[in-house]
Amino acid sequence: MAMMRLGLTLLVLAVLLTIAFAFVHRHSALKRAELEALRQGQGPERGSVQNPGETAADLDEAVDLALGSLSSDSYLFESLSPEDMPPGVEDIIIADETGKVIDSTESDLLDMLLAVPPKPQGLMSGQVGDPIPGEVEIDTIPTQTHSVPVIGSDQKLYWIVILEAGGNPEGQDVVAADWAS
């Protein structure tokens, strides 16, 4: 009986480890595909999920976290724990005017080059522009993005890029727009 219990315990443990490995492998593959798409500027098909309530609150909170990081000496990945992230946000990225990542919740994104929208007109020092919705397709799952232009106190343009968590749940409409147009 003890051998049977041990065998059953080992079988359950093996199944749980297989599930955990599959989850980690899938998450890593999605992250690599997302990073490669951003690195290659393949975010041309931009969209917007029509769910303004929770998405707007999470976006506002993520922008506030990024703005706080712009005025500090620490990176987002150093100062934010996963529990500090808004529930609907996967990653927060801060890029300079050219698209070079200068801060992120993921340390491996630093110095990566992203495709960013054209420079917005009329922003003054300290102002935050309107979010530009976008979409990056990761393993056939659309991941919603929002690029928010900010003019820092140093008079430089920064892009706060918010990647939504969970891709595009079924039933939500995606409206496509192209940054280049």
pLDDT for the residue 3: 81
List, for residues 62-108, the tens digit of each pLDDT value.
999 999 998 888 999 999 988 889 988 989 999 999 989 999 998 88
Let me know: does 164 contact 55? Beta carbons within 8 Å.
yes
Q: What is the CATH number of the domain that holds 157?
A: 3.30.450
Contact 48, 173 (CB under 8 A): no
pTM of the model: 0.62
Bridge partners, 145 (sequence order): 134, 163
- Residue 141: band (very low, low, confident or very high) from pLDDT cuts 50, 70, 90: low
Q: What is the pLDDT of residue 17?
A: 58
Total number of domains constituting the chain? 1
Tokens of 49: 């999920």
Most distant pair of Cα atoms in the chain: their distance = 76
pLDDT at position 96 is 94
CA dist 97 and 116 (Å) reads 8
88 vs 55, residue with greater confidence: 88
pLDDT of 8 reads 73
Range of the domain at 94: 2-178
Q: Which of helix, strand or coil describes residue 93?
A: strand
**CA 60 to mean position of chain CA atoms:** 14
Phi, psi of 132 (to 5 degrees): -110, 110
